[in-house]
Amino acid sequence: MDVVVLVKYVPDPTGTPKLGEDFLVVREGTDGTLDPGDEYAVEAGLRTVEAHGGEVTLVSMGPEVAMSAIRKGLSMGAHRGVLVTDPALRGADALATARVLAAAVSRRPFDVIFTGSESTDGYTGTVPMAVAGLLGIPALTFARKVEVGEGAVRIERQTDLGYDVIEAPIPALVSVTASAAEPRYATLKGIMAAKSKPVEQLSLADLGLDPATVAPTQRVLGITPAPSKGAGEIVQDGDGAVARIVDLLVEAKVI
């Protein structure tokens, strides 16, 4: 089984990301890491090949430092890595990113693509579906459980109220949530073995993509800080308190 995992290099999620003058996240010269959300996807990919045989290929788009995200995935146990990096991709938006990733993935046959649900820095959450759309394969999103079988993949898709069971023929793309598969630790042996695993670095030209097709179609005009949280509501003991609490719980979609 040939498994692809799409991974992203993000600024260290425990730090405060810096924005440049164009309001884009500064990625050069800042500490970064494999997106923690993608670790679940890597884990799902590793479990799939452990059960069915085959190899896990990590595919990423980003600046050259993004290679460290690929190496992290390789040290968890993935087999090979592909990084697409090109000066023309600076500021690429979600659609451009999906175009690049789809082009990189389609260079080789694959059975399942795993992704995180959304990146920890951008949070658009649209890249997985766009990649599937461009590749013309089904997208099974927000998987809290994944079962890859013969010729098909079945997931439990997280919903507000519970979950849906969805199945699709492979090849297919699956985006996973943090409940799908607790990621393993990168082992010391994995780290040392990662050095000798094959990694490719590709440019847009290598993919046969015209820079014009991946030029950003959107621009950030301005940003405002999120409003700070107001004081909470204190429900006083007395008539109507229970009803008010029930209303609040319904509003919060807890019940």
Partner 1 sequence: MGAEIDPLDFLEIDRLLTEEEREIRDAVRAFVEGEILPGIEGWFESATFPREVAKGLADLGLLGMHLEGYGCLGANAVSYGLACLELEAGDSGFRSFVSVQGSLCMFPIRRYGSDEQKERWLPAMARGEVIGCFGLTEPDAGSDPASMRTHARRDGSDWVISGTKMWITNGGIADLAVVWAKTDEGVRGFLVPTDSPGFSTHDIHRKLSLRASVTSELVLDEVRLPGDAVLPGVVGMKGPLSCLTEARYGIVWGAMGAARSCFETALNYAKERVQWGRPIAGFQLTQRKLADMAVELNKGMLLALHLGRMKDEGRLKPQQVSMGKLNNVRVALEIAREARAILGANGITLEYPVIRHMNNLESVYTYEGTNEIHTLILGEALTGLRAYDR
φ, ψ at 199 (rounded to 5°) = -130, 140
Taking CB under 8 A as the rule, does residue 21 contact partner 1?
Answer: no
| Single residue of 71, 99, 157, 197 touching partner 1 by CB under 8 A | 71
What is the rounded distance in angstroms from the CA atom of residue 213 to the CA atom of residue 96?
A: 7
What is the rounded distance in angstroms from the CA atom of residue 87 to the CA atom of residue 215?
A: 11
What is the rounded distance in angstroms from the CA atom of residue 119 to the CA atom of residue 168?
A: 24
Q: How far is the CB of 112 from partner 1 (least distance, A)?
A: 26
Q: How far is the CB of 238 from partner 1 (least distance, A)?
A: 37
Continuous segment of H or E residues that includes residue 41 = helix 36-52
The span of 133-141, 188-196, 218-226, 231-239 binding partner 1 (CB under 8 A) equals 188-196
Taking CB under 8 A as the rule, does residue 185 contact partner 1?
Answer: yes
- Dihedral-angle region of residue 208 (phi above 0 means left; psi in -120 to 50 means alpha; beta otherwise): left
Q: How far is the CB of 1 from partner 1 (least distance, A)?
A: 25
Tokens 């693509």 -> residue: 113
Taking CB under 8 A as the rule, does residue 29 contact partner 1?
Answer: yes
Taking CB under 8 A as the rule, does residue 189 contact partner 1?
Answer: yes
30 or 126: whose CB is closer to partner 1?
A: 30
Taking CB under 8 A as the rule, does residue 90 contact partner 1?
Answer: no
The span of 125-133, 151-159, 190-198, 232-240 binding partner 1 (CB under 8 A) equals 190-198
- From residue 84, give the alpha-carbon distance in Å to each of 8, 44, 116, 138, 245: 11, 23, 18, 24, 51
> Which three-class secondary structure state does DSSP give residue 249?
helix
Continuous segment of H or E residues that includes residue 168 = strand 163-169
Q: Is the peptide bond before 171 cis (omega within 30 degrees of 0)?
A: yes
The span of 58-66, 137-145, 186-194, 240-248 binding partner 1 (CB under 8 A) equals 186-194
Give Rg (Cα) of the chain.
Answer: 20
Tokens 């005009």 -> residue: 221
| Single residue of 8, 72, 99, 197 touching partner 1 by CB under 8 A | 72
71 or 99: whose CB is closer to partner 1?
A: 71
Taking CB under 8 A as the rule, does residue 12 contact partner 1?
Answer: no
Taking CB under 8 A as the rule, does residue 30 contact partner 1?
Answer: yes
What is the rounded distance in angstroms from the CA atom of residue 239 to the CA atom of residue 109?
A: 65
Q: How far is the CB of 191 from partner 1 (least distance, A)?
A: 5
| Single residue of 24, 65, 191, 235 touching partner 1 by CB under 8 A | 191
Q: How far is the CB of 196 from partner 1 (least distance, A)?
A: 12
Q: Which residues bind partner 1 (CB under 8 A)?
A: 26, 28-30, 68, 71-72, 75, 185-189, 191-192, 195
